Structure 1
Amino acid sequence: MNIVVLAGGNSTEREVSISSGQGVCQALRERNHKAILVDAYFGKESMDGELFSEKYDTEQAAAWMRKQSNNLEEVMKTRQEFFGPHVLEICQKADIVFLALHGANGEDGKVQSVLDLMGIKYTGCGPLSSGMAMDKGITKMVFEAKGVPTPKGMTLEKGECSSYLSDYGMDFPVIVKPCCGGSSVGVCIAHNQQEYGAALMEAFSYENQVVVEQFITGREFSVAVVDGKAYPVIEIAPLEGFYDYKNKYSAGSCVETCPADLPASLTKEMQMYAEKGYEALNLQAYARLDFLMEEDGSMYCLEANTLPGMTPTSLIPQEASVIGMNYPQLCEKLIEVSLKKYQ
């Protein structure tokens, strides 16, 4: 297949996206697909030459994308459009686009809407479900309505909310996070009023809506759901703090165990809630749902990630390896289940 791996973009998760895209592109080429890596935001300077060539240097393409990152802020000051030169033209020539974008403008349904309007096939969820899952406030409301356990919380608007937690009937500690951010960027734990004020300021520096929810002390888990079926549960145990941006992307900062060391009954329960959350948000193809579990076994679904990290060592590849699927096979599997949307 001729495949465009679309990565980069202009979100706070650009660098993670490039790593995902590089890994996916290389893996698909190992499976004899003609995959190329395209930067959604910076595009390609010309359409000269053969696009889907047998001879293609994925590392060189990723290095070029990382170099462009140095100019990202300057370009964003003067350019309004998201897609770079020739991006959509190139995508139209592919059999499918593998979305390796993360965060705003990639994971929130905007790119998916454009691709749908242009008749371009792509991996992952559609626009509506992507947008719902990206918004942690909406996700929380849907989970509560559909019986998926989630921490008590609320959505606050910048300039229209009280800075005192007691006004909302909640107690410390709480976790404060941007409503539509990813990779735990801007997420803070507040144990008292002073920390809460600082956490609100930090979260509101990213977005005009933030989610405040009861902080759950417990073990952290994640469950991939592929084509509606839950994969093995993985536990993430940060050596320090919680699973924030630093711990997610710093080598050796977490111990990841898959399958998680849990009684069979709790494993099945968590997988059941992962599938239920996937269904509640009307997700398609694949997603990853994150959980916290207290000592007594009470579990809470925090959010759904519709374009989760896809580096070779990311969580979903680890879960897939437990059921005998290597990384290149997983990349192919995600294309296979995504194509069902178009049947």
Structure 2
Amino acid sequence: MQIAVLTGGATPERTVAFAGAAQIVEALRSRGHAVRVVDTVTGLLSPTDEQRLLTPAVGREPPAVADLDERERAMLSNGLAGLKEVTGADVLFLCLHAGRGEGGTLQALLDVIGVPYTGSGALGSALAMDKDLAKRLFRAAGVPVPAWFMAPVAPEDVTTALGWPVIVKPSKMGSSVGMTLVRNAEGLDAAVLVARAYDAEVMAEQFIPGREVTVGVLGDVPLPVGEIVPKHELFDYECKYMPGMSEEIFPATLDTTLARQLQELALTAHRALKLGGYSRVDFRLSPEGDIFCLEANTLPGMTRTSLLPQAARAAGIEFPELCERICRLAGNSGSARGG
């Protein structure tokens, strides 16, 4: 297949995207596919650019990207449709996180261009990226979620309805960027300001102590449940991307009935948001045994050690095969909509 990997982007998760793209490109080329790489900020990457940008290292903190925003706007509005590597591809493999690349804007543009792309379509991508709307749809579908408020929120409302500590985070961001665990009323306003640096909409969410688990969905099939044991209290940016900062267990050590229940809820969440191709749905298990769905990721991390590839490996699907399956899900969709 002729495959173009779209990656980079103008969000704080830019280096995460490049890290995933590096391994996707290697895997697909090892299977004999012709692969080119396009940064949604700078355009088509030369072999030298690939060597410089596509590295597995992510870093302890997200990068500063404010100066890239206008360049990405220009590339998406004027440059992307003019690249023959994009318009002539059999499939576009999207390896982008947050922002226009994951939140539906790029997907809508690709629907107009008319080239199949991996992951969810424009609507599902936008719904999943907006945590407030996603939680409403999860709840309506019978998927339990932590209680939440959208800022501005008064400390007394947190005390009454959510309790302390409380999670404060941007509504439309991933990788725990801009997220704070706020332990008392004195820290609430500062945490909202931190989150607002990444998104105009900020969520205050009930903190659920307990175990962090995750379920990948490939096609319409849930993968084995995994458990994440971070070194910090939260599975934050550092724990996600610095080696040795978390332990991931696939498959998780869970009662068979509970594991099946999590898989069923993940599939329900996937369908509630009209997602396609593949996704990853994250949960918390409280000490009392209750399940809470945190979010669905339409373009989950795709390094070999990311959670979805680990889940696939537990199901007997090695990384190169996983990448090929994701491409086929897009190519078999019968339209320009994502997989």
Normalised to the residue count of structure 2, the TM-score between the two structures is 0.90
The 3 A distance-change label for structure 1 pair 71 and 324 is closer
CA contact (8 A) 1:234 1:256 kept: yes
1:53 alignment partner in structure 2: none
Among 248, 256, 259, which residue is 2:248 paired with? 256
Task: State the distance in 1 between where 2:130 and 2:72 align.
Answer: 25
Among 51, 70, 76, which residue is 1:83 paired with? 76
The 3 A distance-change label for structure 1 pair 28 and 287 is same
SS at match of 1:106: helix
2:316 alignment partner in structure 1: 324
**Structure 1 position 144, deviation (Å):** 1.0
Q: Does 1:134 align with 2:157?
A: no
SS at match of 2:32: coil
1:164 alignment partner in structure 2: 155
Q: Specify the code of the residue in structure 1 equivalent to 2:36.
A: I
Task: State the distance in 1 between where 2:65 and 2:178 align.
Answer: 20
Q: Specify the code of the residue in structure 1 equivalent to 2:157.
A: S
Among 266, 270, 279, which residue is 1:278 paired with? 270
1:3 alignment partner in structure 2: 3
Task: State the distance in 2 between where 1:299 and 1:142 align.
Answer: 16
The 3 A distance-change label for structure 1 pair 85 and 39 is farther
Dislocated runs of 4+, deviation >6 Å:
none
2:236 alignment partner in structure 1: 244
**Structure 1 position 300, deviation (Å):** 0.6
The 3 A distance-change label for structure 1 pair 214 and 42 is same
Task: State the distance in 2 between where 1:308 and 1:188 align.
Answer: 21
Among 106, 113, 121, which residue is 1:111 paired with? 106
1:144-223 alignment to 2 at 5 Å?
144-156=139-151, 161-166=152-157, 169-223=161-215
**Structure 1 position 72, deviation (Å):** 5.0
**Structure 1 position 40, deviation (Å):** 1.4
Task: State the distance in 1 between where 2:157 and 2:75 align.
Answer: 41
CA contact (8 A) 1:44 1:85 kept: no
Q: Does 1:20 align with 2:11?
A: no
**Structure 1 position 194, deviation (Å):** 1.1
- Percent identical: 37
The 3 A distance-change label for structure 1 pair 64 and 262 is closer
**Structure 1 position 206, deviation (Å):** 1.6
The 3 A distance-change label for structure 1 pair 165 and 41 is farther
SS at match of 1:341: coil
1:24-103 alignment to 2 at 5 Å?
24-44=24-44, 57=47, 61-64=50-53, 73-76=66-69, 80-83=73-76, 86-88=79-81, 89=83, 90-103=85-98
Task: State the distance in 2 between where 1:15 and 1:300 align.
Answer: 30
CA contact (8 A) 2:41 2:71 kept: no
Q: Specify the code of the residue in structure 2 equivalent to 1:132.
A: L
2:59 alignment partner in structure 1: none
- Listed as ranges, the gaps of 5+ residues in structure 2 are 56-61
The 3 A distance-change label for structure 1 pair 225 and 337 is same
CA contact (8 A) 2:169 2:179 kept: yes
Among 289, 295, 308, which residue is 2:281 paired with? 289
**Structure 1 position 64, deviation (Å):** 4.4
CA contact (8 A) 1:100 1:310 kept: yes
Task: State the distance in 1 between where 2:279 and 2:118 align.
Answer: 11
Give the total of aligned pairs. Answer: 326
CA contact (8 A) 2:91 2:330 kept: no
Task: State the distance in 1 between where 2:64 and 2:193 align.
Answer: 27
Task: State the distance in 2 between where 1:191 and 1:267 align.
Answer: 31
Among 301, 309, 316, which residue is 2:301 paired with? 309
CA contact (8 A) 1:40 1:84 kept: no
Q: Specify the code of the residue in structure 1 equivalent to 2:28.
A: L
**Structure 1 position 295, deviation (Å):** 1.9
- Deviation readout 1:63-99 (Å, 9 max, x if unpaired): 1468xx9995445467742439853322101111000
**Structure 1 position 276, deviation (Å):** 0.6
